[in-house]
Amino acid sequence: MATIRKRKNKWETQVRIKGYQNKCKTFLYYEDAKKWAKEIERKIEQGTYIDFSESHQTTLRDLLKRYLDEVSPKKKSYINEKYLIPKLMENTFTTFTIYNLTSNKLVEYRNNRLKNVSPSTINREISLISAVISKAREEWGINLPYNVARLLKRLKEPAARERRLTLIEYKKLIDACSQSKAIWLQPLVKIALETGMRRGELLSLTRNKINLDKKIALLSDTKNGSSRTIPLSNSAIHIIENLPLSLNKKLFSITESSLKFYWTQALNRADIKGFCFHQLRHEAISRFFEKGLSIPEVALISGHKDVRMLFRYTHLKAEDILRKL
C-alpha cells in the first residue's frame, strides 16, 4: 500500500508491502509520485521487482571486510589477501556504496595505481574486487544490476619472465644459501630445482607424504586443487635423507615470511639481480626439457593442466629440430 504526503512543497511517497523493505522517494509533482508508487506495487505483484536498497546502503569497503573475514581464510591465497584487502580498503573509492560505484571510479584508481605498480598487480586487484562483488550478488543476497569491475578491460601484461640461472649464478646462489642462518634454505632451494614444486607446495609438504622407497612425493595441497605425485631424483632423495627432523612434521620448518626474508638476503649476498623464488620453478621445468622429458611427462610433474603453458619453457630452436630430421 502506498502513502503520499506533501512536505515543504514536495511529495513524499512510501510503499509498504509485507515481506519487502519499505520504499521511499520524494517528487516535485503529485502525479509523478503516484505513478512511481503504482509501478513499484505492480512489479511486486508480478514478481519482477528487484530490491536494490541494500546495495544503496552497503559500501565496497563493507564487502571487502566481510570477504576477508568469511571467504579469504578458506582460500590458498589467504596470506596474500590478508595483506591486499586492508590496503584496498584504505582507498577512497571503497567508501562508495556498491550501487553508486562506477567504472569511472575504478578506472581513476587503476590509472593512479599504474604509476607505482605493474599491470599484473592491478589486474589481480581488479579481479579480487570483481570476485568480492560476485560473491555479494550470488551468495550474500545483495542485488546489483551488474558487476562493475567486469566492465574494465584487463591491462596488457609484459611477457612472462624467462630469466634463467647461469652456472656461475647457480653456484653463487647455493653458496649464499649455505651461509644463511636459516638451515632449511639451501636444501629447500635445491629441492625446488630438483622437483619444480611451487613455494606453497614445498612449505606445506610433510614427511608422511614422502615415500623414499618408491622415490615419490605426494602433493595433496596444490594451486589448481588437484593432487599429484612427484618423482624424486637421486639427488632429491639424498637431500631429504639428510634433512633435520622438525617438530611440526613439515619437511621444511620455515614460514613463508621467513623464507622471503632469507631468500632476499641470499640473493643480495650472491649479487643476483632480477630473480624471484618462483623462477626456480621455471628453471627446474626448463631443466626437465633439457634432460629430454616430453611435454606430457613434464606436465605430470609440474601439474600444468593446460600443456600449452609449457611451450614457453621448451626454448626450442629450428636448429634443434633439424638435428632430429
Residues known to be catalytic? 198, 223, 278, 281, 304, 313
Cα(190)–Cα(171) distance, integer angstroms: 11
Judge residue 236's burial from the number of C-beta atoms within 10 Å of its C-beta, 0-12 exposed, 13-18 middle, 19 or more buried: buried
Query: Hey, what's the cell of 114?
Result: 599504474
**Amino acid, single-letter form, for residue 109:** Y
- 253-271 CB burial, b ≥16 within 10 A, e <16: bbeeeebeebbebbbeebe
- Rounded CA-CA distance 148/167 in Å is 49
Cross-strand pairs, 25: 13
Residue tagged 620455515 (cell numbers): 254
Whole-number Å distance between alpha carbons of 77 and 223:
9
In angstroms, rounded to a whole number, what is the distance separating the alpha carbons of residues 91 and 94? 6
SS (HEC) of 222-266: CCCCCCEEEECCHHHHHHHHCCCCCCCCECCCCCHHHHHHHHHHH
Q: CA 193, CA 175: separation in Å to the nearest integer?
A: 15
Cell of 207: 614427511
Helices (H), the chain: 30-46, 53-57, 60-70, 78-89, 103-113, 119-138, 167-178, 185-195, 199-204, 234-241, 256-270, 279-290, 295-302, 311-314, 318-322
